Amino acid sequence: MIDLTEQKTKIDVKALNLYYGSFHALGDISMSIYDRTITAFIGPSGCGKTSLLKTFNRMNDLIPNARVEGEILLDELSIYGESVDVPSVRKKIGMVFQKPNVFPMSIYDNIVIGPRKHGVKGKRELNEIVEKYLTRVGLWEELKDSLKKQATELSPGQQQLLCVARAAAIQPDVILMDEPCSRLDVESTLRIEELMRELVHRYTIIIVTHNMEQAARASDMAAFLMIGQDRIGRLVEYAPTLEMFSMPKDKRTEDYITGRFG
């Protein structure tokens, strides 16, 4: 079980409320995400897991009439402060989506698009970035001779690994993953989980998953969300994964984990 006394807080969420127009999506969420851990958001469909994930890199800003109240601190600095540069937030907090969203360009260009955007121009440095991050996700030996190949021609599992490499290539502090394995076969799913356990030595990882076995296998911390009687998504329980799955404190958590609902 993870020792929280030795863990530094990476993201601190304080009384977070999220609205889409008049719709109150998330209510009074408070939690601390620990540095270099894997945190899993679990809960039934529609409870706000992905919405919460997207508040961490301000992706909800792209939705008309979305509004956040409360505070989210990254390394003790507010990411919703008036003077905050949003692109710099998104550089520090990368995201991998549910459906592999490789860009319609070569494997090479998929990796370097972020570094180029952030000022890396030298061919040698870009080549080193491609090799480094494809190696990190276990794709270098498979793809090193076909870097000019269109990324859309890769298998779904390879595409998702490429998306992780692309997210890591901008050197973020945090990687968000929104159900990254939901469209993958068992072999690719286990490969992504193994990769997460390797990457967590360098990054803080937050994953949304409906797969309880995956949450139990892959995560250090688990956060259970569900819709309250007021129809607002709320955090029911947040604890080390082993503790939550073996001794949940809330009956609703136990019912969800054991498949009684959800």
**Any idea where the domains of the chain sit in the sequence?**
4-101+171-257
Residue 233 to residue 140: CA distance in whole angstroms: 41
Residue 253's pLDDT is 97
Question: Cβ distance 122 to 90 under 8 Å?
Answer: no
Residue 6's pLDDT is 74
| 252 three-class SS | helix
Q: pLDDT per position in the chain (262 positions), as tens? A: 567 667 899 999 999 999 999 999 999 999 999 999 999 999 999 999 999 999 999 999 999 999 999 999 999 999 999 899 999 999 999 999 999 999 999 999 999 999 999 899 999 999 999 999 999 999 999 999 999 999 999 999 999 999 999 999 999 999 999 999 988 889 899 999 999 999 999 999 999 999 999 999 999 999 999 999 999 999 999 999 999 999 999 999 999 999 887 6
Residue 156 to residue 184: CA distance in whole angstroms: 7
| 180 three-class SS | coil
Other Cβ atoms within 10 Å of 16 Cβ, number? 20
Residue 5's pLDDT is 67
Residue 162 to residue 243: CA distance in whole angstroms: 33
Residue 182's φ and ψ, nearest 5 degrees, are: -65, -25
Q: Which of 5, 85, 27 is nearest to 226 (CA)?
A: 27
Tokens of 18: 């999220």
Residue 229 to residue 227: CA distance in whole angstroms: 7
Q: Which fold has domain 4-101+171-257?
A: Rossmann fold (3.40.50)
Burial of residue 15 (CB within 10 Å: 0-12, 13-18, 19+) is: exposed
Other Cβ atoms within 10 Å of 125 Cβ, number? 12
Burial of residue 14 (CB within 10 Å: 0-12, 13-18, 19+) is: middle
Look-up: residue for tokens 């911390």?
221
| 99 three-class SS | coil
Question: Cβ distance 224 to 243 under 8 Å?
Answer: no
Other Cβ atoms within 10 Å of 208 Cβ, number? 24
What pTM value is reported for the model? 0.93
For the chain, the C-alpha Rg in angstroms (whole number) is: 18
